[in-house]
């Protein structure tokens, strides 16, 4: 009985350890997860494909929500960037869903992060959900109210 118990305990501990590693594997968006250049590409795209509904200053309009500020952050803080990526890539622009490439969706998110005062970094935001699942929307260091 004893060796079996030890074996089960070992499996339980290893399982626990691998979960911890998984949790530590995520990068906060506030650590600089996009580049200025990428945000600039996203800005140009935003003006041509998104501003008509969400407003040139991202403040929203009609049924289109604001994409910068407290309401937007309340929707996304604590969630992986992959969730925002999926929403944009699959459902936006609302009048032409499914027309954005994954690279365009990533560039747009870089622009949205900048607009919500997340700092730029040295590496571009990757354009795939496998990596974006590990980047967490946390609080921007210079968000209003901080
Ligand atoms: C034709 C109008 C229209 C266009 C163009 C458009 N959107 Fe939207 N967008 C909407 C509407 C309406 C909603 C709300 C949808 C809902 O709640 O189901 C929305 C929701 C969103 C959301 C979710 C916001 C939140 O906090 O829940 C994001 C992000 C977004 N849009 C990004 C974009 C981006 C990026 C573009 C440009 C590629 C874009 N949208 C173009 C109308 C539009």
Give backbone dihedrals phi and psi of 52, rounded to 5 degrees, phi first.
-60, -35
Which residue has tokens 């954005």?
100
Higher pLDDT among residues 146 and 141, named by residue: 141
What CATH number did the domain enclosing 52 receive? 1.10.760.10
With cut-offs at 50, 70 and 90, classify the pLDDT of residue 7.
Answer: low
Percent over 90 (pLDDT), the chain? 77
Higher pLDDT among residues 86 and 11, named by residue: 86
Nearest CA to ligand 1 atom 16: 64
Could you report the per-residue pLDDT of 55-65, keeping only the tens digit for each? 999 999 999 99
Report pLDDT for 20: 42
DSSP per-residue letters across 5-46: HHHHHHHHHHHHHHHHHHHHT-EEGGGT-S-HHHHHHHHHHH
Domain that holds residue 108: 28-136
Is the per-residue pLDDT at 40 higher than 50?
yes
Which residue from 67, 85, 125 has its CB within 8 A of the most atoms of ligand 1, so it is best to mutate? 67
The answer as to whether 124 is a domain residue is yes
CA atoms within 13 A on the CB side of 133: 4
The answer as to whether 3 is a domain residue is no
Report pLDDT for 110: 98
Percent over 70 (pLDDT), the chain? 80
Report pLDDT for 137: 97
CB 49 within 8 A of CB 105: no
Give backbone dihedrals phi and psi of 16, rounded to 5 degrees, phi first.
-60, -45
Residue 135 CA to residue 8 CA, distance in Å, equals 33
With a 6 Å cutoff on the Cβ, whether 104 touches ligand 1 is no
The answer as to whether 101 is a domain residue is yes
Could you report the per-residue pLDDT of 97-130, keeping only the tens digit for each? 999 999 999 999 999 999 999 999 999 999 999 9
pTM attached to this predicted model? 0.86
**Number of domains comprising the chain:** 1
Average pLDDT, the chain: 88
The answer as to whether 8 is a domain residue is no
The answer as to whether 10 is a domain residue is no
The answer as to whether 12 is a domain residue is no
With a 6 Å cutoff on the Cβ, whether 101 touches ligand 1 is no
The answer as to whether 99 is a domain residue is yes
Q: What is the largest CA-CA distance in the chain?
A: 70
The answer as to whether 20 is a domain residue is no
Of 75-79, 133-137, 141-145, the least confident: 141-145
Helices 102-115, 81-91: inter-axial angle, 10-degree rounding: 120
Task: Report how far ligand 1's centroid is from the alpha carbon of 79 (Å).
Answer: 18
With a 6 Å cutoff on the Cβ, whether 92 touches ligand 1 is yes
Task: Report how far ligand 1's centroid is from the alpha carbon of 137 (Å).
Answer: 18
Could you report the per-residue pLDDT of 67-86, keeping only the tens digit for each? 999 999 999 999 999 999 99
């Amino acid at each position: 009985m004893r060796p079996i118990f030890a074996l089960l305990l070992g499996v339980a501990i290893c399982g626990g350890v691998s979960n911890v590693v998984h949790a530590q594997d995520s990068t906060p968006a506030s650590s600089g997860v996009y580049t200025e250049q990428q945000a600039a590409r996203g800005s140009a795209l935003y003006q041509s494909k998104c501003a008509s509904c969400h407003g040139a200053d991202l403040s929203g309009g009609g049924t289109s929500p604001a994409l910068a500020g407290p309401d937007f952050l309340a929707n996304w803080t604590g969630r992986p960037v992959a969730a925002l990526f999926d929403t944009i890539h699959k459902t936006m622009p609302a009048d032409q869903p499914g027309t954005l490439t994954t690279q365009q969706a990533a560039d747009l998110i870089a622009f949205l992060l900048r607009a919500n005062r997340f700092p730029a970094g040295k590496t571009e935001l990757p354009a795939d959900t496998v990596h974006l699942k590990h980047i967490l929307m946390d609080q921007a260091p210079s968000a209003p109210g901080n």
